[in-house]
Every structure is written in C-alpha cells, then in structure tokens.
Amino acid sequence: MTLLAVERMKLFTTRSPWWCAVLALAVTVGFAALMAGTASAESPITIAATQFGYGFGLMVVMVMAALAITTEYRFSTIRATFQAIPNRTAALLAKTTVVALLAAVIGEIAAFGSWGIATVIEPTADLAINTPFEWRAIAGIGAVYGFAAVIAVSVGVLVRHSAGAISVLLIWTSLLENLIMLIPRVGRDIHQWLPFNVAHQFVTGDPDPSARAIQDGPGLSDAVLSPWPALAYFAGFAVVLLVIALTVANKRDA
Amino acid sequence: MIEAVGLTKRYGKTLAVDNLSFTVPAGRVTGFLGPNGAGKSTTMRMILGLDAPTGGSALIDGKHYRDLHHPLRTVGALLDAKWVHPNRSARAHLQWMAKSNKLPAKRVDEVLEIVGLTSVAGKRAGGFSLGMSQRLGIAAALLGDPQVLLFDEPVNGLDPEGILWIRKFMHRLAEEGRTVFVSSHLLSEMALTAQELVVIGRGKLISQSSTEDFVAQATENTVRVRSPQLAALRTALGRAGVSIRDEGESLIVSGMDCAEVGELAASTGAVLHELSPQRGSLEEAFMQLTGDSVEYHTEIADGQVPATLVPAGK
C-alpha cells in the first residue's frame, strides 16, 4: 500500500497525467457530441456510436502511461526510486497498478461522459443501456484502457525513451496491426490474434452487429474470440509483456 | 562502514572498475579520488545496488544494498543533483521519498530547513540553480537520518560559498559518527575535505591512506641537479641509496636535500651547473600518481600542465 501511495504522489505531482486525462476526455466526449449533433431521424444515434472516439482516447491514455515511466528514465528519477525501493519488481508493479487504475478511471469517465453528452444533445434517442453488448460498449472501455496502460508501461520500461516508446505504441496500434492484414494468405489470420484488434472485439463484438451502418459505431473487429475471452486474451498479453519488462529491469543497470 | 571486496565492472571490452577493494570507516570523511573516467561514479552506483557488479561485492555494514530494509534510513546518497523531475516541487520530491521509506512527513520540512531551502520548497525543482539542486540532493540524502552517506562530486560547479558550506557540512556529519564517502577529481579539494583517501585510476586502487600521509608522500620535495659529469654523479647518488630519475639533461633526486647533494657532488668531484630545490604542487603529484591511469589524455608538453587541465566535466 505504501508503494501505491508513493507512485500516486509521483504521478500527480507532475503535469503530464493531468494534460493527458483532459485531452483523452476532450477527444472522446467531443467525438460523441459530434456524432449526436449530426444524427438525424433516419440514422439516430446509438450507444455504439457514442463511443466512436474511444480509439483516440486510448492512444492518449497509452501516451500518458508510457510517459509516466519514461520520464523517470529521462530525468533519472528511476535511480532515486530504486535507491529508495531496491525491490525493483515491487516498485514497478506499484507504478503499473497506479497508472492502470488511472487509465481505467479515465476510460470510464470518457465512456460515460460520451454517452452522457449524447443523451443531453439527443434526449429523444434510444440510449438506454440494456443489453450486455451495450454495457460492454460503454463500461468495457475502462478495462481496455487499463490493460492498454499496462502494455504502455511495459513498453516504456523496455524502451526507456519517451519518443521511442510512444512511437512504438502508436505505430503498433494505428499502423502495424492493420498493415499485417496486407500479408498475402496468412495476414488476416494473424490479424485476428493481434492484441488491440482482440481488445476491440471486447468493446464492439457480439451480438454480431455487422449488419449495422458505419455511422453506428467504431469499425468492427474481425477477431474470432467472443468478447470476454477476448478481454482475457488482451489482459494476458499485457501481463506477459509486463513480466518481460520486469525481468529486464531487474537485470539491467539502472 | 562501507566495504568493497574485489569489485569489478565490465562494459563490453572496457574494464571500468578492476578488482577494487577498500573500506570506508565510520566517523571520518573519506575522499574517493581519481581522474574523470576512473570509475568513481560506477563504483558508487554499485555500492547503491543500481548497477550490478561483474564481480566482487560492495557491502554496507555487512549487507548488500538490496537487502537493506528501508535503505534510506541506512544510506543517504547524492550521486547527481539533477535526478529530480523538473516539474515536481522540492517538497513533493522529498515527500514521495520519505513516504517510500515510511519516514514521517515532518522530516521533509526538517531536512529542507537543514539545507536552507524552506523558502523555495514549493517551487518546481527544474528552476533551481546548480547550488540549490545540490542542496536538494543533500536534503534527500539526509531524509532517513542515515549512518552512511555517499556524495559524488558534490562541489562540482558550485561557487566558493557553496563549496565551503558543503565542506563544513561533511565534517559535521563525520563528527556525528557517520560514514561519509565523497568523490572528487580534485586533490586540492579533497586535501581540505577528507581525512582518509581512497585513490583510484582506471578502475584500479592506487592507494588507501590518511590524507596527511598521502599528501606528504605525494608532494615529496626533490632536487634538480645538472652536471657535465652526470654519469659519475648518478653512480654516487645510486650508492647513497636515493631515488633518481632523468629529466632531459638533468637528474631529479628525491630523499636528499640540496646541501647533501652538493656535498656528494663535491666529494665525487663533479662540477654542478644547477642545483635547485623542486617543490611539487598537489596537482602535479596527483597527476604523477595517476598519470598512467587517466582515461582521456590531453596532449600537452611535459611540465606545462596547469592544474585546471585535469580533464574536467563529468
């Protein structure tokens, strides 16, 4: 508990998490407002459509999480940290936990904020949260942000440079996973198992909404897992990456 | 007490620290002296468990740093004053460190008071001058009221007032019975600050002794003598059992004063063209001792090396 309190103090006494949180909320809620504002009688706003901006918020949250650790390397406060807490695994686990919790909270506020602003702009639309799919589409975003933050912290520990870690994360999520589909024959099969695509399945998948129009929500995942196993797979991927990062951090000179 | 036993650190092909063994006693200020690149910082990082030694070990009161419970209560260290997040306030920086070792929050205000930073405690550390950063670093080192303190080049870049403050401060810490281990590449500074000296060059131990002994030995007075009958004189001096070394056309004799050399020359029948006492400066002596072990040489003709050209910068 002490270590969690320490990492909380460290996180909130710098400015970048605040800026990132504000930015993440602005892009997600802003997108929802845009979707609600442009909805019409023929194509009314849906719950899925209120979450159009979640992918952008996800990137901002991962930048926040990566910065939380890479700035420690940048300013060598990681050495002060390991000096105070020589058990590196404990120190880094505490940091990961605090950052992931913050990411999850940002995710929930972003998701419910997006949904909320849509209900305000379009009070007549059917935005009641009823089905498991609708709950996942909104409340599930916090879980995806949380595990994505674990991935971002792990990459940050491994790469140690802010620009490098952020480049890896952004290229991976916004380019690489889609480019892999271009590989002949096997590309699509590989893509089905790529972590962010699978995480997307948790938010957008089942009951199969493939018949819906494009404006009804974020693009769909082609992952074959059903939603809850998809989340477990994403979480498992995050944990494996974290274990690798911790092992490396313990071996390496600080 | 700090104890290094066969400490070794290898980076690829370079041996940064080579089988280094020394002890740092309590109640004294021990200087850790060596040219830049000699391996001082690496050694200190290994003592703090930040870098893993390739061989050997460093122990603090018989324990590895990693095995210390709440290490800030045992060991305080200032390795680099810039190890602070620039947007975090001085107080916030100390607060998280205090919290991590379960030190009371009021201890933060106490150490800020000790180093005289109370009035700027709420300001962001990135705006601090080097002197203020050093003080913040020292405050962090003192947080846990530790018995062992390590400082890496604490006076680097400080003004004379800051240097004097740190020097007095270290003496006070040692008088309180603590172990104080402070590194520097300046012998003149260490001669004033440290009572014990551990001298290294290229990662190897050159000497461990009291500062007094080291200075006396290092600044041994010599006599320069020139003579057309240099060979005869050399033989005579050799018989007398003093150490001689050649320097151009002359001999440098140590262990004998001018009068004795003159008398010896007269009894040998050698004509003297020069007989002059040589007083070496501390810096020259240090350069001589560590000369072969300076990592980055500057090519300047012999005897033309001013003290300020001991390779500078960290």
The answer to whether the Cβ–Cβ distance between A86 and B102 falls below 8 Å is: no
* Residue A11 contacts B where some CB pair is shorter than 8 Å: no
Hey, what domains does chain B have and what are their CATH numbers? 2-217 (3.40.50.300), 222-278 (3.30.70.100)
Question: What would the pLDDT profile of A86-133 be if each residue is shown by its tens digit?
Answer: 999 999 999 999 999 999 999 999 999 999 999 999 888 888 888 888
The answer to whether the Cβ–Cβ distance between B51 and A253 falls below 8 Å is: yes
| Closest by CA position to B93, among listed B130, B126, B47 | B126
SS (H, E, C) A187-251: HHHHHCCCHHHHHHHHHHCCCCCCCCCHHHCCCCCCCCCCHHHHHHHHHHHHHHHHHHHHHHHHH
What is the pLDDT, as a whole number, of residue A65?
97
Question: What would the pLDDT profile of B200-233 be if each residue is shown by its tens digit?
Answer: 988 999 889 998 888 777 766 788 899 898 888 8
Q: Which residues of A touch B52 (CB under 8 A)?
A: 251, 253
The percent of residues in chain B predicted with pLDDT above 90, rounded, is 56
* Residue B99 contacts A where some CB pair is shorter than 8 Å: yes
For chain B positions 131-170, those within 8 Å of chain A (CB to CB) are: 140
* Residue B52 contacts A where some CB pair is shorter than 8 Å: yes
3-state secondary structure at position B113 = helix
B309 vs A225: which has the higher pLDDT: A225
* Residue B50 contacts A where some CB pair is shorter than 8 Å: yes
Question: In chain B, which residue's Cα lies nearest the Cα of A9?
Answer: B96
* Residue B102 contacts A where some CB pair is shorter than 8 Å: yes
ipTM attached to this prediction = 0.87
DSSP per residue over B233-299, as a string?
HHHHHHHHT-EEEEETTEEEEESS-HHHHHHHHHHHT---SEEEEE---HHHHHHHHHGGG-SS---
Q: Which residues of A touch B50 (CB under 8 A)?
A: 79, 82-83, 253-254
Question: What would the pLDDT profile of B288-304 be if each residue is shown by its tens digit?
Answer: 666 665 555 555 544 44
Strand-pairing partners, residue B276, are: B224
Angle B99-B104-B108 from CA coordinates, rounded to 5°: 80
**Cis omega before residue A218 (within 30°)?**
no
* Residue B66 contacts A where some CB pair is shorter than 8 Å: yes
Q: Which residues of A touch B97 (CB under 8 A)?
A: 80, 84
Say how many CA atoms lie within 13 Å of B198 toward its Cβ.
26
| Closest by CA position to B47, among listed B38, B56, B60 | B60
Question: In chain B, which residue's Cα lies nearest the Cα of A13?
Answer: B88
* Residue B101 contacts A where some CB pair is shorter than 8 Å: yes
The answer to whether the Cβ–Cβ distance between B95 and A5 falls below 8 Å is: no
Q: Which residues of B touch A82 (CB under 8 A)?
A: 49-50
What is the pLDDT, as a whole number, of residue B42?
95
What is the pLDDT, as a whole number, of residue B168?
92
